Structure 1
């Protein structure tokens, strides 16, 4: 039995709440430190998108014989979710976004 809150799955709800809380803390800290560069929004977007994509697609090539792997659509819809894939994707997403926007400051 999985806990639910009506029709809303609890895992997805709490992931969303965690992302919103992280965004709020980031906004308050950025304002407090005087880092109000609008390019930071694109860096954050790069981290979120990179993490979301690599979370699902990070385990796509898990078999040496490529015919044993799922198609990209099947992997996206039904594939594994990998924490390490999400972390690597977020890291890459930040670096790509910084390169595209020309943001040079350290992001931690």
Structure 2
């Protein structure tokens, strides 16, 4: 097996593991958003924001390397909202926008997995 073939195989395995891991992250976010919308007190807001940050940051870290430019852009948009200075809770409209961006990211991941 040539060096180029080994590299291609390694990249494909990395891509597969990335997409499997990203699906787990998205499943976690779907659950957390569902809990957030079912709790009228919005008590889980800080935890949801933290999970969104952690998962978007992890996905962004490999998305561009694996040539998923649109995923990288969406993750950057997500991080721009959750990484505020000084740190604060997102407003309800920001949470709606984040939910839309996370749904877009989920769709892009599903397309890449197909």
TM-score, normalisation: structure 2: 0.32
More helix by share: 2
Query: Which of structures 1 and 2 has the bigger CA Rg?
Result: 1
TM-score, normalisation: structure 1: 0.33
